[in-house]
């Protein structure tokens, strides 16, 4: 299969290239970048030397790129992918958007949170959280790759909602992200002098991943679900750790919680259940497409606490995009994604 990456010089684009270098079923066609046009990709990212040799960053038009590609990965700021979606589909290619443009079934929610007019309504895009939407992803022309915080949070909470074990008005997500989650941009908050030896909450009650998490949980619940979501920046390059809280319904036992997670994910290769009492850690998933999940029951407060850990650039972005691509084209879902986590 032939693939192209729009926005190949961001962190997610570079991670896609790293993963796809070991994918036996794909071949790169075009790489684009707004500010590195004409440069070899290995000049921008020397760690890719010997994998992409003299592959140049292109300035081809989208319809020309789509005509030469089976799948296009859009690693672009919000507002850009929806402007090209129709052209990609018309050319016969499939689109996997690693941005936010296609993540909401109700485009008015996108417009409210992203302050942009949505220009590709009725796109029939599928929200590509593979373990939950696998059947829909198979037939999709456009897949909206979930965000990193959202992947960690939705996977952690879905079994509790699916099996009706918690009070849905009590959901709280407290999550931490490495600096790469903000992308490759020179903003003060992400400079080493600002981020090093510092932990900082941000986007309290206003982060754009909030409605994305709520949408997925609401679909599972078949009724509106509202959460409190607080993200934090921590001084490391990669990783997401989400600690999620909910009040258990009266009479729910720890064994029922155990069974819910086993029923939901017991057969999922990329979700590793550490069980009741486990402690997921970001270092155990770094560089891999795994999401580690564990849960604890607090009988004093009658709460369940679910902890999930993943690599924000892999399962939270590029790895999940490759997983979705594999599903879309009928390949083994694990193809190209069998890297063990990097440790230490």
Tally of CA atoms within 13 A in the half-sphere of 19 that contains its CB: 32
Q: Is 148 a catalytic residue?
A: yes
Of these residues, 148, 193, 244, 291, which one is catalytic?
148
- Cβ atoms of residues 69 and 4 within 8 Å: yes
With DSSP H G I counted as helix, E B as strand and the rest as coil, what are the percentages for the chain, rounded to 5?
A: 35, 20, 45
Cα distance between residue 322 and residue 216, in whole Å: 21
Cα distance between residue 16 and residue 186, in whole Å: 22
Q: In the structure encoding, which two tokens stand for residue 171, read together?
A: 């959901």
Bridge partners, 177 (sequence order): 233, 240
Cα distance between residue 82 and residue 100, in whole Å: 9
Bridge partners, 176 (sequence order): 232, 241
Pairing outcome for strands 94-97 and 71-74: parallel
Q: In the structure encoding, which two tokens stand for residue 123, read together?
A: 């796109």
Cα distance between residue 115 and residue 112, in whole Å: 6
Sheet of strand 271-276: strand arrangement:
200-201, 228-233, 172-177, 240-247, 303-310, 291-298, 271-276
DSSP assigned state of 80: S
Cα distance between residue 272 and residue 310, in whole Å: 10
Bridge partners, 208 (sequence order): none
**Catalytic annotation, residues:** 148
């Amino acid at each position: 299969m032939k693939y192209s990456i729009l926005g190949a010089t961001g962190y997610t684009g570079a991670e896609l290239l790293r993963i796809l270098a070991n994918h036996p079923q794909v071949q790169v066609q075009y790489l684009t970048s707004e500010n590195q046009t004409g440069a070899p990709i290995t000049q921008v990212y020397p760690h890719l030397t010997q994998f992409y040799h003299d592959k140049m960053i292109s300035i081809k038009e989208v319809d020309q790129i789509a005509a030469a590609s089976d799948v296009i990965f859009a690693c672009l700021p919000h507002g850009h992918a929806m402007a090209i979606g129709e052209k990609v589909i018309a050319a016969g290619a499939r689109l996997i958007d690693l941005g936010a443009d296609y993540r909401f079934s109700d485009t008015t929610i996108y417009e409210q949170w992203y302050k942009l007019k949505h220009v590709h309504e009725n796109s029939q895009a599928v929200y590509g959280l593979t373990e939950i939407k696998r059947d829909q992803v198979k037939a999709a022309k456009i897949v909206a790759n979930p965000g990193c915080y959202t992947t960690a949070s939705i996977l952690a909470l879905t079994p509790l909602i699916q099996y009706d074990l918690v009070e849905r008005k009590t959901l709280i997500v407290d999550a931490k992200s490495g600096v790469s989650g903000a992308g490759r941009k020179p903003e003060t908050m992400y400079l080493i002098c600002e981020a090093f030896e510092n932990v900082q909450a941000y986007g309290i009650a206003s982060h754009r991943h909030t409605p994305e998490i709520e949408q997925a949980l609401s679909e599972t619940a078949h009724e509106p679900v509202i959460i409190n979501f607080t993200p934090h920046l921590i001084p490391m390059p990669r990783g997401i750790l989400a600690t999620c809280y909910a009040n258990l319904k009266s009479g729910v036992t720890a064994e029922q919680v155990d069974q819910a997670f086993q029923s939901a994910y017991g057969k999922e290769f990329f979700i590793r259940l550490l069980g009741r009492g486990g402690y997921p850690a970001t270092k155990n998933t770094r560089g891999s497409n795994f999401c580690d999940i564990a849960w604890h029951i607090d009988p004093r407060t009658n709460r369940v606490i679910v902890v999930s850990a993943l690599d924000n650039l892999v399962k939270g972005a590029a790895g999940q995009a490759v997983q979705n691509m594999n599903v879309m084209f009928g390949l083994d879902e694990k193809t190209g994604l069998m890297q063990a986590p990097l440790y230490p």
